[in-house]
Amino acid sequence: MYIVLILTLDDDIQIFDKCFSPQSVVVGNKQLNTFDLILYPYEKMNLLNSSEVRNMCEVVFFDAKATVALKFDVAGVSLEQVFKYIYNSNQTITFQLSQTDFNTYSVAKYVYYTVTFPGQQPISFGVQSLRFLKKDYANCYSEVKAEYSRFGYQFLSINVTPSNCNIDVSQTQVYFESTTLKLLLPPCTSNCSVGQYGSTSDFISTTLYVVNRDDLTDQDDVASFDAMMALIEANIYSEAKDYQLFQLSARINDDVIQKDVEYVLMSDRDTKCAQTMSPHVIYNRVMIRAMLYGTINKSRANTFECYWLTNNSYYMNYGVVMRSNGLQQTTFMLDEYLVFAMRNGGIIYGDCTLNLSNLEPLSYDLIFLFQDEQRNTIAQFSRHGAAFTGCFYDGVLIKYPEKICLRVTYVQNDICKARYPFSKLSIRTYIDFDGDRTQRKWFSKLTLPSVELKYNSTAPQIFCFTCDNFDPSSSFYGDTCENSIKVLGDNIVKQIPYVEISTAVEISRFWNAASYQWANYMWPGYIVFGATTVIVAVAIVFMIKNLTVK
């Protein structure tokens, strides 16, 4: 029960000084280590008759600096703070504590408060409730990324971006977990890196958690480490239905901080094979293309900087894992290392099987395994990133006597419809004569410096090129553009032509995608075979097939 005390000043005027409601509350926040005293004004303040009651809250205490004291039933402890009183308004007064002090106060069952206005005696007030907010750890980590090595110096390293959660890290136990395994991450005790767990008790300054296999002395801990490494590696290659999420989990008494690991890398920290690598991965209907050194250095060979390792590697087993919306595609290829290193400008990996209508977000993991002649892996590393969605759905090359035209259609999804349409457009055609890659001949590269690509349209779009559009930036067969185009025209119906289409942001390659149009006004094209006078109607417009570089 709340009693409003009105003091008599004389026979006619009474004094009122109970400025706050008994509905006021105290809230403890375990995440921030704070107590909030939420003050509500007396509910009937506006009903006080000024001719009968002198309202001290309005005429004396207004805008005064008062002292509030929270009184807990824990060894008589209290908290004090000065605040500015605002008449007839809700006010929140926050008391910031250390984690140790907060833990002391948090066992309280009862609390009341007093307010002392200038020149007055303390006035006591009760509260409706004392309640504690459970710690919300959902945002204590905004990013969690892991890296591991199973060759050479074996370790698991987790980098995080922490938030200000006012946690004493020295009181935590931290684990790297899956649904089936849990690995304890011990605090660093010597030679700690900046920000490493164990080097500081400050949560927001702790950005690195590491476990080194060589530092483990207990055989059970070693076994746990090995089991987790095996699970991580198996998970990288697993099908989507078997894919497991890993989590970083920190326990503080009964509370838990938990955050999913965004991705796990195979480290090249020791090998330093690809310190300058900046992959650009394009995913389109007919291929996954990875340019290891970006679009600027797309002609650079697939070489690595760890020469001591590449000199001892006979095979390169390399693959890509694409993930989007719970779906996954994994493709691997095997080359002799010398062949792999000759693949200028990147790697091409076979079919694409993910749903092109919804590829947001789309991520990749590029994986490189260095192997000896017996196919034993001697080192490995991976790279992770966001993949680029290619928007060419179909490409058909049409050869006229005096020009080459390209007919394209586009993938119809939100990503492609929103893509900036203005770009340069290049085509480059090649033929592997008699199906032999060693007999490959590249023909003139032709470039239109600025076109509008109608990504929003479902209708085919045609672009035409002549030798006026010759681009000398790439080598070609035939000495001159005219000769090169003539050789292409002579062979386009006898061999399998490939056409590579590139813009400022993507590259796509189609094969068996060509027709020969003998006259400008004829479509489908008519091709005269041999020396006879028989004209046979042939439309050589093939469907796109898989492209794998052998």
Distance in Å from the first CA to the final CA of the chain: 87
Confidence at residue 525, expressed as pLDDT on a 0 to 100 scale = 36
Identify whether residues 411 and 474 lie together within a single domain. yes
* pLDDT surpasses 50 at 519: no
**Which two tokens mark 549?**
């570089």
Residue 231 DSSP label: H
- 77 within some domain: yes
- 546 within some domain: no
The per-residue pLDDT for range 227-257, each reduced to its tens digit, is: 999 999 888 877 766 777 899 998 887 677 8
Identify whether residues 247 and 152 lie together within a single domain. yes
- 273 within some domain: no
Identify whether residues 245 and 297 lie together within a single domain. no
Identify whether residues 161 and 117 lie together within a single domain. no
Kindly report the average pLDDT of the chain as a whole number.
84
The per-residue pLDDT for range 137-180, each reduced to its tens digit, is: 668 888 899 999 998 889 999 999 998 887 888 889 999 998 88
**pLDDT winner (highest mean) among 338-342, 498-502, 546-550:** 498-502
Identify whether residues 419 and 453 lie together within a single domain. yes
pLDDT band at 68; cut points 50, 70, 90: very high
pLDDT band at 493; cut points 50, 70, 90: confident
Total structural domains within the chain: 4
Residue pair 455/419 in contact (Cβ under 8 Å)? The answer is yes
Residue 92, strand partner residues: 38
* pLDDT surpasses 50 at 6: no
Identify whether residues 506 and 517 lie together within a single domain. yes
**Which two tokens mark 123?**
């006035």
- 438 within some domain: yes
pLDDT band at 136; cut points 50, 70, 90: low
Identify whether residues 471 and 426 lie together within a single domain. yes
Task: Tell me if residue 417 falls in helix, strand or coil.
Answer: helix
- pTM summary value: 0.69
The per-residue pLDDT for range 325-351, each reduced to its tens digit, is: 888 888 899 999 888 887 766 777 777
Longest dimension (CA), the chain: 132
pLDDT band at 537; cut points 50, 70, 90: very low
Task: Pick the last residue of a domain from 346, 374, 389.
Answer: 389
Q: How far apart are CA 208 and CA 214, in angstroms?
A: 18
**Which two tokens mark 432?**
């592997």
- Strand-pair category, 388-389 with 14-16: unpaired
Identify whether residues 129 and 219 lie together within a single domain. no
- 11 within some domain: yes
Confidence at residue 240, expressed as pLDDT on a 0 to 100 scale = 65
Identify whether residues 71 and 157 lie together within a single domain. no
Task: Pick the last residue of a domain from 133, 167, 187.
Answer: 133
Q: Given 3-state DSSP classes, what are the helix, strand and coil percentages for the chain, each rounded to the nearest 5? A: 15, 40, 45
Task: Pick the last residue of a domain from 334, 363, 389.
Answer: 389
The per-residue pLDDT for range 312-328, each reduced to its tens digit, is: 899 999 999 998 888 88
- 274 within some domain: no
**Number of CB atoms found within 10 A of residue 145's CB:** 16
Residue pair 308/260 in contact (Cβ under 8 Å)? The answer is no
Q: How far apart are CA 536 and CA 528, in angstroms?
A: 7
Least confident span in 203-217, 268-282, 362-376, 462-476: 268-282
Confidence at residue 512, expressed as pLDDT on a 0 to 100 scale = 60
Confidence at residue 426, expressed as pLDDT on a 0 to 100 scale = 95
Of residues 533 and 86, the one with the higher pLDDT is: 86
Q: Please classify residue 67 by burial: count the beta carbons closer than 10 Å to its beta carbon, then call 0-12 exposed, 13-18 middle and 19+ buried.
A: middle
* pLDDT surpasses 60 at 534: no
Identify whether residues 409 and 305 lie together within a single domain. no
Identify whether residues 357 and 410 lie together within a single domain. no
The CATH number of residue 434's host domain is 2.60.40
The per-residue pLDDT for range 272-304, each reduced to its tens digit, is: 888 888 898 999 888 898 888 876 555 567 778
Backbone phi, psi, residue 234, to 5°: -65, -35
Identify whether residues 209 and 252 lie together within a single domain. yes
Residue 347 DSSP label: E
Structural domain for 75, as ranges: 6-133
